Amino acid sequence: MPEKNDLDDATAPYSGPRAVDPGEPEPRLEDDPDYVTRTRFLSLIALAGGVAMTAAIVVPVVGFAVAPTLEPEPPRWVDVGPLKDFPDGETTSIAVAGPATESDRRVFIRRRDDELIPIWNRCAHLGCPVAYSPGGDVFACPCHGGAYNSRGLVTAGPPARPLDRLDYKIVTPDGKDVALGDAKDEDRLLIGVAYSIDEDEQSFTLRGPGESVTGVLRNLYPSPGA
């Protein structure tokens, strides 16, 4: 006969285990959002390491791609020939080495009335090469119709300022600077750095095509490295 147990007697008092109210759980450190667990610490280390390694690659690469291109053109003097090649009363076109031959820089040497102006052929609108027509004694741009007078000042079309000019000096064969009035035919003409001018022929640091040197629009562009 099986032994009698508590389950058979519904009236017997319960003697089994009882649920205990757990009460408030013990506060854990990792539940505090400000507490740095090991997982969180290692994640941050990995993230910081990844950022550092990526920067170690990207910063030199971008710097190498960008920084050399922003350097301004180094100043220098280019010998373009004896003064007798540029007769008085004429505007003569010559090729001048720019920063490189690929820049295809040409200069008009305008020699009139005891004055010599080297005028750069780069249109002040968008940089097309302007052409000189001796008949009308004017410069005209083939791209967008910019027109300039004999001194390179804008007469019509979109250019924002007159044609840029270049510094020049005249040197005797034994290397002394002379003024234009005292120069002889065999003295050499040297072309230097370019500069921009406004309508009153005041000189400014060289600007890119399309940039104004006067007026409100001048403020749209950073000053060239000066």
> Does 69 sit near other proteins (CB under 8 A)?
yes
The residue within the footprint of other proteins, chosen from 78, 180, 209, 218 (CB under 8 A), is 209
Query: Which residue number, 175 or 222, has a Cβ lying nearer to other proteins?
Result: 222
Binding-site string for other proteins from residue 156 to residue 195, where x marks contact by CB under 8 A and - marks none: ----------------------------------------
Query: Which residue number, 99 or 173, has a Cβ lying nearer to other proteins?
Result: 99
Instruction: Name the one range near other proteins by CB under 8 A: 29-37, 41-49, 97-105, 111-119.
Output: 97-105
> Does 201 sit near other proteins (CB under 8 A)?
no
> Does 65 sit near other proteins (CB under 8 A)?
yes
Which helix H or strand E contains 140, and what residues bound it? strand 138-140
The residue within the footprint of other proteins, chosen from 43, 93, 103, 214 (CB under 8 A), is 103
- Residue 139 token pair: 């410069």
The residue within the footprint of other proteins, chosen from 92, 94, 112, 127 (CB under 8 A), is 127
> Does 211 sit near other proteins (CB under 8 A)?
yes
- Where would I find the H helices in the chain? 38-66
Q: Which amino acid is at 140?
A: A
Which long-range contacts (C-beta less than 8 Å, at least 24 apart) are formed by 73-80? 73/98, 73/99, 73/193, 74/99, 75/192, 75/193, 76/192, 76/193, 77/169, 77/190, 77/191, 77/192, 78/190, 78/191, 78/192, 79/188, 79/189, 79/190, 80/107, 80/109, 80/189, 80/190, 80/191
Query: Which residue number, 82 or 98, has a Cβ lying nearer to other proteins?
Result: 98
Query: Which residue number, 29 or 66, has a Cβ lying nearer to other proteins?
Result: 66
CB 116 within 8 A of CB 110: yes
**Nearest-angstrom CA–CA distance, 103 and 78:** 15
Instruction: Name the one range near other proteins by CB under 8 A: 45-53, 80-88, 127-135, 197-205.
Output: 127-135
| Residues 136-155 contacting other proteins, CB under 8 A | 143
- Residue 169 token pair: 């000096």
175-213 burial, b for 16+ CB within 10 Å, e for fewer? eeeeebeebeeebbbbbeebbbbbeeeeebebbebbbbb
> Does 99 sit near other proteins (CB under 8 A)?
yes
Q: How many chain residues interact with other proteins (CB under 8 A)?
A: 29
C-beta of 131: minimal distance to other proteins in Å? 13
User: Which residues contribute to the site for other proteins (CB under 8 A)?
Assistant: 65-66, 68-73, 98-105, 126-129, 143, 208-211, 220-222, 224
